[in-house]
């Protein structure tokens, strides 16, 4: 499982490594050569490359990169932005080695421009010469140059991915030892381009970093199915969903659960909607429940009878935003004894007063950014500025798991945080979240809750990427994600 760090953690890793005998100068040399190697694989002898360097350690990485490229026959020019007197000792050492490539200004067009202005110590807004340099890089990219950023695109906040002013848009970002949170959050996914991780030999004193699971990690959760087995082995998922005009959400969740390995799926729906489901998804069992005004009626005996033989429950897709539905969700939380996934309209009427109901239960909340802001009682801007801490506060209050859905996904469990950009922009389509709730519901019936959450998010994203490759990000729809799940399970051998 890959690991991701905050800038503060990375600085502590560097401090610890240098205090335990690792040379900061050697690490800078290794980092710069790693960036150069990426460019050597993408350029030819004689290609012109401009390296734009700041006065900090990121600039030092750039000096090493430029010198290594020049030694391999590339035509390198190094543009130093800022006061030479402010260079760090290590950066000054490598500048002397690269002095032959120093230029006083850029000249003409370059095949590649290397951004080595700011590293992970950057915060706020680029000013003065640095801002001008970022605009220079931007203009060169518009004219056809490709851009490689060293460690992180300059101007991007390395912690939350926000941009206050000008920022570099990279085609490739080479980052060192660990990915950084800002490369996944906010605008990081847009600005980093292809993210390449290069080891530089640092020591890691932390036991618990932010985790970034892969499909290989997902595969490890699924043992091979035994020859003697039956549908009951793989869980019975109950889904309470649907209302007049929003019937499709429940159907998507139900079929997604089946495609994610559930042995049985029963969809509990308001009886006024049952006609919609009778001609769809033959494998999904449908149970009509008492309805009123186009949504579920609060007849809890009916609901309790539906829930009693389930191994996991999903509630929320297409439920409607009638205030009665808040009471329904609270009842299911209070009486539930199996894993419960609360999504979409199921989250709408939950407030801080309800968080205590979830303690001691098995609950996964799956809000998107707007829903998380409502749960936190803050603005969407607050979530974007502190995407890791806001979700963590809710997870700690409910003493359960929160899955924050965005272009990235942050999963907060009791003793761990998971962060990934498993999906793609094409998944920004109606019903995609319903598919995720069905996947997680199926996994929660047979796996520990924490593993069900991150594995479900990873599977959902992988299927979404495959759907986009086949249908395009523009034309794909949520059911295409479901259709691609079998091929993802084939890929991981399950």
State pLDDT tens for residues 91-128: 999 999 999 999 988 999 999 999 999 999 999 999 99
Of 92, 101, 22, the residue nearest 57 (C-alpha)? 92
Class in CATH terms, 215-223+230-491: alpha beta
Is pLDDT of 167 > 90?
yes
Is pLDDT of 281 > 80?
no
Instruction: Dig out the tokens for 282 from the structure.
Output: 């033959």
State pLDDT tens for residues 229-268: 888 889 999 999 999 999 999 999 999 999 999 999 999 9
Of 275, 334, 328, 269, the residue nearest 299 (C-alpha)? 328
Average pLDDT, the chain: 96
Of 198, 199, 276, 273, the residue nearest 243 (C-alpha)? 273
Is pLDDT of 290 > 80?
yes
Instruction: Dig out the tokens for 289 from the structure.
Output: 């429940």
DSSP labels, 163-201: BSS-----SEEEEESSEEGGGTSTTHHHHH-EEEEE---
pLDDT of residue 233: 87
pTM exceeding 0.85: yes
Residue written as token pair 């290590």: 90
As a whole number of angstroms, the distance between CA 232 and CA 493 comes to 22
As a whole number of angstroms, the distance between CA 448 and CA 20 comes to 38
The domain made up of 23-205 is a member of CATH 3.90.700.10:
no
Domain residue ranges of the chain, discontinuous segments joined by +: 23-205, 215-223+230-491
Q: Is 53 left (phi over 0), alpha (psi -120 to 50) or beta?
A: beta
């Amino acid at each position: 499982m890959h690991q991701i760090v905050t800038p503060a953690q990375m600085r502590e890793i560097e401090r610890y490594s240098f205090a335990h005998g690792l040379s900061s100068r050697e690490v800078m040399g290794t980092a710069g050569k790693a960036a150069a190697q990426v460019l050597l694989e993408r350029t030819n002898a004689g290609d012109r490359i401009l390296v734009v360097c700041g006065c900090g350690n990121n600039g030092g990485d750039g000096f090493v990169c430029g010198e290594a490229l020049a030694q391999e026959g590339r035509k390198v020019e190094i543009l130093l932005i800022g006061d030479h007197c402010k260079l760090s000792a290590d950066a000054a050492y490598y500048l002397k080695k690269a002095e032959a490539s120093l230029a006083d200004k850029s000249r003409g067009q370059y095949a590649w421009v290397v951004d080595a202005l700011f590293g992970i110590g950057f915060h706020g807004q680029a000013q003065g010469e640095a801002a001008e340099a970022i605009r220079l890089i931007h203009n060169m990219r518009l004219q056809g140059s490709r851009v490689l950023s060293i460690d992180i695109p300059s101007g991007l906040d390395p912690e939350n991915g926000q941009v206050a002013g000008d920022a570099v848009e990279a085609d490739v970002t080479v980052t060192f030892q660990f990915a950084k949170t800002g490369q996944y959050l906010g605008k990081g996914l847009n600005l980093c381009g292809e993210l390449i991780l290069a080891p530089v030999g640092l020591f890691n004193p932390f036991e618990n970093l932010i985790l970034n699971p892969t499909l290989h990690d997902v595969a490890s959760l699924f043992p091979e199915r035994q020859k003697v087995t039956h549908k009951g082995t793989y869980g019975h998922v109950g889904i309470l969903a649907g209302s007049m005009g929003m019937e499709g959400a429940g159907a998507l969740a139900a079929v997604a659960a089946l495609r994610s390995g559930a042995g049985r799926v029963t969809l509990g729906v308001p009886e006024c909607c049952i006609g919609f489901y009778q001609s769809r998804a033959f494998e999904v069992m449908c149970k009509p429940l008492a309805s009123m005004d186009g949504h579920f009626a609060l007849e809890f005996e009916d609901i309790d009878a539906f829930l009693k033989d389930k191994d996991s429950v999903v509630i929320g897709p297409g439920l409607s935003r009638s205030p009665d539905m808040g009471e329904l969700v609270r009842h299911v939380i209070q009486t539930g004894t199996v894993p419960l996934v609360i999504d979409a309209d199921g989250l709408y009427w939950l407030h801080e007063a309800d968080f205590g109901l979830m303690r001691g239960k098995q609950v996964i909340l799956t809000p998107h950014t707007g829903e998380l802001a409502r749960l936190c009682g803050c603005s969407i801007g607050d979530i974007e500025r502190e995407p890791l801490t806001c979700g963590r506060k809710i997870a700690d209050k409910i003493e359960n798991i929160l899955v924050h859905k965005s272009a990235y996904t942050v999963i907060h469990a009791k003793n761990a945080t998971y962060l990934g950009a498993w999906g793609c922009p094409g998944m920004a389509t109606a019903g995609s979240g319903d598919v995720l709730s069905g996947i997680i519901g199926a996994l929660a019936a047979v796996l520990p809750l924490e593993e069900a959450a991150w594995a479900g998010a990873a599977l959902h994203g992988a299927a979404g990427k495959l759907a986009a490759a086949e249908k395009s990000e523009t034309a794909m729809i949520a059911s295409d994600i479901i259709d691609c799940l079998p091929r993802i399970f084939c890929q991981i051998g399950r």
